[in-house]
Structure 1
Amino acid sequence: MKKLTIVAGLALLIYACAESTSKNSAPSESPAKETAAPAYDTAKGAGRFTKVDIPASLDAKMAEAGKKVYDLKCAACHKLSDEKLVGPGWKGVTARHTPEWIMNFSTNPDEMLQKDPKAQAMLEICLVKMPNQNLTDDEARQIYEFMRKNDGIK
Structure 2
Amino acid sequence: MKTVKTFAFSMLTFALIACGGDKKTDSIPTASTTETTTATAAAPADANAYDPNRGLGKHENVDVSKFDPALAASGKKVAEVKCTSCHKPTEEKLVGPGWKGVTQRKTPEWIMNFITNPDPMIDVDPELQKQLELCLVRMPNQGLNDTEAREILEYMREIDGAK
**TM-score when normalising by structure 2:** 0.69
Corresponding residue for residue 117 of structure 1: 126
Gaps of 5+ in 1: 1-36
**2:62 counterpart letter in structure 1:** V
Corresponding residue for residue 80 of structure 2: 71
Match of 1:81 among 86, 90, 100: 90
Corresponding residue for residue 10 of structure 1: none
SS of 2:54's partner is coil
**1:46 counterpart letter in structure 2:** L
**1:128 counterpart letter in structure 2:** V
- Structure of greater Rg: 1
Q: How many residues align?
A: 117
CA-to-aligned-CA distance 1:71-101 (integer Å, 9 cap, x gap): 0000000001100000000000000100011
Does the Cα contact within 8 Å between 1:91 and 1:151 map onto a contact in 2?
yes
Percent identity over the alignment is 59
Gaps of 5+ in 2: 1-46
Superposition deviation, residue 38 in structure 1:
6.9
**Larger helix percent:** 1
Aligned Cα root-mean-square deviation (Å): 1.4
**2:49 counterpart letter in structure 1:** A
CA-to-aligned-CA distance 1:17-55 (integer Å, 9 cap, x gap): xxxxxxxxxxxxxxxxxxxx9732111101111111111
Corresponding residue for residue 59 of structure 1: 68
**1:108 counterpart letter in structure 2:** N
Following the alignment from structure 2 to structure 1, what is the Cα–Cα distance between the partners of residues 59 and 48? Answer: 15
Corresponding residue for residue 17 of structure 1: none
1:31-50 alignment runs, 5 A limit: 39-50=49-60
- Runs (4 or more) in structure 1 with deviation over 4 Å come to none
